[in-house]
């Protein structure tokens, strides 16, 4: 199975860059890059949880164990962009172990970027 990669549309990029005036607007503490990274990581974690449980949020429980979502927990990621607080979903049976951000994440010298690349290299898209 081949996966085709989609580039963001020029219109989407224009919308994201609306109001851009200086490099800090993209790369700064509250810049676009940090906000996008947070949104993408949290969305990927929600997709992992849906795959783990067998159903999307607000859908009937589809697994035989009756496991369901149970809020989130906070974690701070460290990377080239500084510290990034994210919300990691939890399940009632505490059996969810995210692949993107493992429980014992941040091995010596590993940044979020290298983690993304290593997962991609192993076939996770």
d(CA 80, CA 85): 14
What per-residue confidence (pLDDT) applies to 115? 64
| Structure token pair of residue 76 | 């701070």
- Its pTM stands at 0.73
For residue 108, what pLDDT is reported? 47
For 70-92, the pLDDT digits (tens) are: 999 999 988 777 888 999 999 99
| Percent of residues, the chain, with pLDDT higher than 90 | 47
Burial bucket for residue 19 (CB in 10 Å: 0-12, 13-18, 19+): exposed
Domain ranges (residues) in the chain: 23-121
The model's pLDDT over 14-65, given as tens digits with 9 standing for 90+, comes to: 999 998 999 999 988 889 989 999 999 999 999 999 999 999 888 888 888 8
Sign of the CA dihedral with 110 first, then 108, 45, and 71 last: negative
């Amino acid at each position: 199975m081949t996966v085709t990669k989609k580039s963001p549309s020029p219109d989407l990029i224009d919308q994201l860059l609306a109001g851009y005036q200086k490099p800090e607007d993209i790369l700064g503490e509250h810049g676009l890059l940090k906000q996008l990274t947070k949104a993408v990581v949290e969305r990927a974690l929600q997709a992992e949880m849906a795959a783990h449980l067998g159903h999307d949020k607000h859908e009937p429980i589809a697994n035989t164990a009756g496991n369901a979502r149970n809020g989130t927990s906070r974690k701070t990621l460290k990377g080239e962009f500084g510290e990034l607080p994210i919300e990691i979903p939890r399940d009632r049976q505490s059996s969810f172990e995210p692949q993107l951000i493992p429980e014992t994440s941040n091995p010596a010298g590993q940044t979020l970027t290298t983690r993304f690349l290593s997962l991609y290299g192993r076939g996770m898209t």
